[in-house]
Each structure stands twice: as C-alpha cells, then as structure tokens.
Amino acid sequence: MINFLVIGGGGREHALVHALSKSEIAGSVHAAPGNPGMEKAARLHPVNGLDAESILPIVKEHDIDLAVVGPEAPLAEGLADVLRAEGVMVFGPGKAGAMLEASKVHAKRFMDRHGIPTAPWDLCSTFEEAEAAINKRSAPYIVKADGLAAGKGVVVAKGAEEALSAARAMIEEGLFGESGRRVIVEDGLLGQELTVLAVTDGASYRILPPSQDHKRIFDGDEGPNTGGMGAYAPAPWADPSLMEKIKNKIIEPTLAGLRAENTPYCGVLYAGLMIGPDGEPRVIEYNVRFGDPEAQVVIPLLETDFGRLLLACCEGRLSEVPWTEPARWAANVVLASKGYPGPFEKGKLITGLDPEGLPGDGNFLVFHGGTARDGYGNIVTAGGRVLSAVGLGDTLEEAIKTAYRGASAISFEGAHYRKDIGRKAFLKGSEQEW
C-alpha cells in the first residue's frame, strides 16, 4: 500500500485527494496544508509554506511514499528534486522541467527549438524594445512578464497605450519582480482556448479529456481575468482530428524535446492552447501541474485508478497501466467571494454544504478552494475562489445542470458565480467568437 501526500490547499488539491482516497492502493492519504473539505478523505498537516523545510518532516514522520505537488511555485523552486533526493517518489517535475512554466522566455525558446506552434514573439529587456515590438503589431496586444506572477503577469490590451503602460510597469517599475523585467510581446491569437493535460512518466503519456476554463469573472467573458471560474470536460468541439493534431504537433514534440534536452519529466504537462479559425492548435502557455479548475472536472472523469496511474508514472511504467477512455462528462461552477479577483472579505459563514440539500446519486461533488474553520468549527470563506460545485453526467447538459443545482443550494454572503459555464460547448462552428 502507498502513503500519498498532496501538497497544496485549493480546489485542485481537493480533487487530487478525493481521487487518491478512492484508490485501491492507498494506504493513507495526507494533505499539507489541505483544507476543511478534505477532512474526511485525508489527514491534514498545517504548514507555514510549501517548501522543503515544511514538507520534509511530514514525509518522514508519516512514511510518505509518493508526493503530488499541486501548485507551480514549489515545483519551480525545486521541491520535487529535494524530495526525490530523500527517496520519496514525486508526481511533478523537478526544477529543470518546471522552467516550462516558470519562465515564459524559456518556454518560447523551447517551442522555437522544437518547432512547436505558438504566437510569434519578441523578447524585450528595455521599454524601447517593448515599444518597437508593440508598434509593429496590431490589437489585441499581448504583453507577458517572464517569471511566475501568480497568474497576473499577462496583459491582453485592446489598445497600444494600455500595452505600453503595462510594459513600462513591468520593465521599469519591476511590477512582477526582477525576472518580470524581461517581457515578451507576442501576436494576439484568435480562437477558442482549450486545456489539454497529459500525464507522463517522461517516456509514455496519456492525454486526459480536453477541457475549457472560463477565465473572466463575469458571464460572456466580461470583466477581469481570474484563476478560473468554471470548466467543463470533455470539450465536445475538440473532435478526434483536432486531438490528433494536438498530440502530433504539441504533446509529442514537447515530451520529445524534454527528452532530447535530458530534462526528466514525471507529472502533468498542461498545454494551454488557442485553436484558431484555421483549426490549428497553438500553445499560449505551458503549465507543469494540473490546472485549477480544470483538474476538478478532468480527474473525476478518469476511469483508471488514480493512485495506480500516479505510481506508474513515478515508476516509469505508465505504458503498462490499462487505460479506459473516460466516457462521461463533467462541469464545475466556482463560487467566489464578492470583489474577487480584487480585494474581498473573508470569514463569511457558508451554508448548504450538508449532503441532504445537495444533488445526490454520486453525480455531484463539492471541492473546497478557499475555506477555513472558524473558532466555533463552522466552515467560513477564506479565499477568492471559495468552493466549486462539480456535476457529472452521461451528457454535458446533465453535468452542467447538476453543477448548477448544487451551486444554487450553497450560499454565503456575497457569493458570485457565472451562469454561463459550458455555454461555449454548444456553439456551432459559425457561432464561435473568432
């Protein structure tokens, strides 16, 4: 039996804990720090940070065999390397592999070296360079800070003025730190965004159901970008011929490129894609971990024992694991705090989480993203993305309906959620917003 540790405390990590707690090979499941939603499925370990100093004592005390790193920051800092050196199996790449997410310049150069389609780009280290790169393009203008910026380092500007001031803030004022003083200006891509996740042991891989996130806070993709307000999977418009292109032009060349450069990679490769009006996929970004909220719809769909899948990746024998293609659908709706993604209040009492009031029959799940217990043991809000209502079904319509039935049963003061999650899935080609 395997003792698992999930590192992180959001909705993605709750989805990981949920799947591992059902694994036939799970001895125990731990989470650091985890969240109140995981209390029944895992042993929680409060930690100050997600660094080696905080995690190693847990690993040793609880005989952890396999650690899954949820968020990108500890991967970028090399947590997986430290744990592996201590003899722990880790699902998640080491520092070298994590560079695909930690440095956008690295990722762009990697794609260029390996012929992986992405938007044409310029590297700008001075404001003058950025100005020239912006002025030779047309709207939408895309300006990206190089390093990790907690999802805030990308500006999509309708006008050149906005793009120029974003570039100035990044380069001259160091808005996103020293690494963010290097900026990428790239062509704006038109099309539909698609998330494709592949789990890999470095040699073999499995592509998980393609999903679509909803990044803007309001219906109709209005308002500021967020971490993600809901997702659905599989995206029905990602037909077999598109998935074949994604496999051949993006996933395989990326993994082959990592191998050719002697970069070991065990974990998830997240390809954030734009599917253009020409039907061609191009990479917007790589991430080196499960997406959030995508993980919350993709992982519950998997038919293969999740613990066995991760173990096989860590042992370099993914190709031996029998694989059943997922056959169902999932959608999730994120309930956010009032004001998110700007400033918001915490500590609001959450009601409606008792299973009696929620859709039953195993087709509904709640994953906690930003919750805590108050001094009386009540579950209260503690983050921007508070909870996620996940519906599963034999059709996408059913999954969406179930997710919304659950979302409407849960409440807290100021709760906000989008009412149009999954709408894009039903648009015909001609109605797509190219």
Q: Which residue ranges make up the site for ligand GLY (CB under 6 A)?
A: 213, 228, 287, 291-292, 294
Among 19, 197, 273, 284, binds ligand AMP (CB under 6 A): 284
Among 206, 215, 368, 424, binds ligand AMP (CB under 6 A): 215
- Residue 215 CB, shortest distance to ligand AMP, in Å, is 5
Output the CA–CA distances (angstroms, integers) from residue 106 to 17, 101, 111, 280, 419, in the order listed: 32, 8, 9, 23, 37
Residues 6+ apart with CB under 8 A from 61: none
- Residue 131 CB, shortest distance to ligand AMP, in Å, is 19
Residues 6+ apart with CB under 8 A from 10: 35, 70, 71, 292, 369, 370, 383, 385
Which of 14, 215 has the CB closer to ligand AMP? 215
Beta strand 183-186 pairing with 141-145: antiparallel
Which of 129, 285 has the CB closer to ligand AMP? 285
Footprint on residues 69-98 left by ligand AMP (CB under 6 A): none
Which of 3, 287 has the CB closer to ligand GLY? 287
Which of 104, 348 has the CB closer to ligand GLY? 104
- Residue 251 CB, shortest distance to ligand GLY, in Å, is 17
> In the chain, how long is the greatest CA-to-CA distance?
61
- Residue 228 CB, shortest distance to ligand GLY, in Å, is 4
Per-position x/- string for 103-142, each x denoting binding to ligand AMP as judged by CB under 6 A, each - no binding: ----------------x----------------------x
Footprint on residues 174-213 left by ligand AMP (CB under 6 A): 186, 188-189, 193
Which of 65, 77 has the CB closer to ligand GLY? 77
Name the phi and psi angles at 55, rounded to 5: -85, -35
CB-CB contact of 217 with 281 (8 Å): no
Label residue 251 left, alpha or beta by phi (over 0 means left) and psi (-120 to 50 means alpha): alpha
Q: Which does 287 bind (CB under 5 to 8 A by kind): ligand AMP, ligand GLY, none?
A: ligand GLY
- Residue 362 CB, shortest distance to ligand GLY, in Å, is 26
Neighbours of 405 (CB within 10 A): 15
Which of 153, 234 has the CB closer to ligand AMP? 153
Q: Which does 117 bind (CB under 5 to 8 A by kind): ligand AMP, ligand GLY, none?
A: none
Q: Which does 101 bind (CB under 5 to 8 A by kind): ligand GLY, ligand AMP, none?
A: none
E strands in 92-191: 121-124, 141-145, 154-157, 183-186
CB-CB contact of 301 with 265 (8 Å): no
Output the CA–CA distances (angstroms, integers) from residue 305 to 30, 33, 300, in the order listed: 18, 24, 11
Q: Which does 385 bind (CB under 5 to 8 A by kind): ligand AMP, ligand GLY, none?
A: none
CA distance 93 to 100: 10
Q: Which does 291 bind (CB under 5 to 8 A by kind): ligand GLY, ligand AMP, none?
A: ligand GLY
Q: Which does 96 bind (CB under 5 to 8 A by kind): ligand GLY, ligand AMP, none?
A: none
Q: Which does 156 bind (CB under 5 to 8 A by kind): ligand AMP, ligand GLY, none?
A: ligand AMP
**Backbone CA torsion sign across 211, 299, 8, 374:** positive
Neighbours of 292 (CB within 10 A): 27
CA distance 144 to 124: 10
Beta strand 154-157 pairing with 141-145: antiparallel
Residues that bind ligand AMP (CB under 6 A): 119, 142, 151, 154, 156, 186, 188-189, 193, 215, 272, 284-285
